Amino acid sequence: MQKIDIQDTINVIKDLVHIPSPSGYTRYAMAYLESYLQKVGIKTNVTNKGTLLATIKGKDDSRQRMLTAHVDTLGAIVKEVKKNGRLKIDLIGGFSYHSIEGDYVQIHKMDGRTVSGTVVMHQSSIHVYKDARTAERNQENMEIRIDEPVQSDLETEKLGIQVGDFVSFSPKFEQTLSGFIKSRHLDDKASVALLLSLLKQLKEDAIQPEHTVHVLFSNNEEIGYGGNANIPEGVVEYIAVDMGAIGDGQQTDEYTASICVKDGSGPYHYGLRKQFVSICEEKNIPYKLDIYPFYASDASAAIKAGHDIVHGLIGPGIEGSHSMERTHVSSLEATYKLLQEYVQAPMNH
């Protein structure tokens, strides 16, 4: 297959990160995916859970593969309208309050309209609060300052804001001349864009993969169960395409494809890991093996749900996961090349 059109893929990433989709509020992002695939001539099925499934028929239809990436992101939900007119929030997904201080947000009202705001400390002014620098960043001390002239809970409620309204975070997307892509929500919209590019290329170039390939775009991964259902009967191999986490003691970087050996759910399938490594070494694809201690994926959720499959996890390396994230075009290219080669290779177990 041809090389990835990396700029086209980056443009899709940019589109996706600007579509609010915290877990539980993903319909607009899913509509984008459905429209994208329809334009390239790929039929999709929307499941009862709201996931999107696309299929490319392979040479062998008896033993099938599934690739998945998740479109849902971290976010928040309104927990309380405070007496001062500001909002207390409850977080959606596993991230920390300190990573969102100062972020611009949108509050999504039930009528479909939005109100903008900023996540701030209640004790934000160092000229007023002695503990402005030292107070813990937590649910009690942090609030959303909404961009409307309100000073009471009644005034805020008159705007139509209520408990249960979703809150999405501004992505702050930027593509640098040095090849970096930095934005919130690269987890996992970078991988979603890679799979869209793969499906587009398979369709447009009339490439038949070795085995039938299903691609599931899930919508609840950040809360633990995005891809644990809707797995077609013939699927033998299930690969989560998700971020590689970077930090002290990790091998993963922003320039290679990451192959996960083990995460918090346990080891991934040894035979699949060996096949990924073999493909990378044979095709000169830069890669790193790694373990993510505080991590789980849609593939591990599917295993826990009792599916009789083998599972693997690969993806681009993402710096600052669940914070202000960043990756490099070379990691996107390496991951895409590994995906290309994998779907054209026979199963070896």
189 and 99 part of one domain: no
Would you say residue 1 lies in a domain? no
139 and 258 part of one domain: no
CA-to-CA dists, residue 281 to 257, 271, 292, 335, 337, angstroms? 12, 15, 22, 13, 12
Domain span holding position 158: 75-169
The Cα–Cα gap between 198 and 340 comes to 7
Q: 344 is written with which tokens?
A: 């054209």
Q: What is the pLDDT of residue 348?
A: 87
Would you say residue 239 lies in a domain? yes
- Of 134, 169, 204, the last residue of a domain is 169
102 and 51 part of one domain: no
Closest-CA residue to 241 (of 139, 340, 110, 130): 340
Phi-psi region of 127 (alpha: psi -120 to 50; beta: other; left: phi over 0): alpha
Q: Are strands 142-146 and 114-121 parallel, antiparallel or unpaired?
A: antiparallel
pLDDT band at 226 (very low <50, low <70, confident <90, very high): confident
The Cα–Cα gap between 339 and 257 comes to 10
pLDDT band at 3 (very low <50, low <70, confident <90, very high): confident
Residue 130: count other Cβ atoms within 10 Å of its Cβ.
9
221 and 312 part of one domain: yes
24-38: pLDDT as tens digits? 999 999 999 999 999
Give the mean pLDDT of the chain.
96
Q: What is the pLDDT of residue 260?
A: 97
227-248: pLDDT as tens digits? 888 899 999 999 999 999 999 9
68 and 205 part of one domain: yes
208 and 329 part of one domain: yes
CA-to-CA dists, residue 162 to 56, 96, 153, 158, 343, angstroms? 43, 23, 10, 9, 47
- Of 126, 145, 169, the last residue of a domain is 169
Q: What is the pLDDT of residue 199?
A: 97
pLDDT of 40 over the 80 cut = yes
Q: What total of structural domains would you count in the chain?
A: 2
Query: What's the CATH number where 299 sits?
Result: 3.40.630.10
Q: 272 is written with which tokens?
A: 């699949």
Would you say residue 245 lies in a domain? yes
Tell me the mean pLDDT in the region 40-64: 96
Q: What is the pLDDT of residue 135?
A: 93
Would you say residue 177 lies in a domain? no
- Of 169, 197, 222, the last residue of a domain is 169
Q: 16 is written with which tokens?
A: 């996706």
35 and 83 part of one domain: no
Tell me the mean pLDDT in the region 193-197: 98
35 and 96 part of one domain: no
137-165: pLDDT as tens digits? 999 999 999 999 999 999 999 999 999 99
202 and 300 part of one domain: yes
Query: What's the CATH number where 124 sits?
Result: 2.40.30.40
Would you say residue 176 lies in a domain? no
pLDDT band at 62 (very low <50, low <70, confident <90, very high): very high
Q: What is the pLDDT of residue 349?
A: 76
Q: CB of 336 within 8 A of CB of 7?
A: no
Q: What is the pLDDT of residue 211?
A: 98
Q: CB of 143 within 8 A of CB of 153?
A: no
The 3-state secondary structure of the chain, one letter per residue: CCCCCHHHHHHHHHHHHCCCCECCCCHHHHHHHHHHHHHCCCCEEECCCCCEEEEECCCEEEEEEEEEEECCECEEEEEEECCCCCEEEEEECCCCHHHHCCCEEEEECCCCCEEEEEEEECCCCCCCCCCCCCCCCCCCCEEEEECCCCCCHHHHHHCCCCCCCEEEECCCCEECCCCEEEECCHHHHHHHHHHHHHHHHHHHCCCCCCEEEEEEEECCHHHCCCCCCCCCCCEEEEEEECCEECCCCCCCCCCCEEEEEEECCEECCHHHHHHHHHHHHHHCCCEEEEEECCCCCHHHHHHHCCCCCEEEEEEEEEECCCCCEEEEHHHHHHHHHHHHHHHCCCCCC
216 and 307 part of one domain: yes
Q: Among all residues, which ones are annotated catalytic?
A: 221
193 and 48 part of one domain: yes
Q: Are strands 266-267 and 142-146 parallel, antiparallel or unpaired?
A: unpaired
Would you say residue 178 lies in a domain? no
Would you say residue 32 lies in a domain? yes
Q: Lowest mean pLDDT: which of 1-5, 75-79, 214-218, 230-234?
A: 1-5
51 and 99 part of one domain: no
The Cα–Cα gap between 164 and 155 comes to 17
Q: What is the pLDDT of residue 227?
A: 85
Would you say residue 179 lies in a domain? no
70-117: pLDDT as tens digits? 999 999 999 999 999 999 999 999 889 999 999 999 999 999 999 999
HSE of 97 in the Cβ direction (CA atoms, 13 Å)? 17
pTM of the full structure:
0.97
Q: What is the pLDDT of residue 190?
A: 98
The Cα–Cα gap between 25 and 22 comes to 5
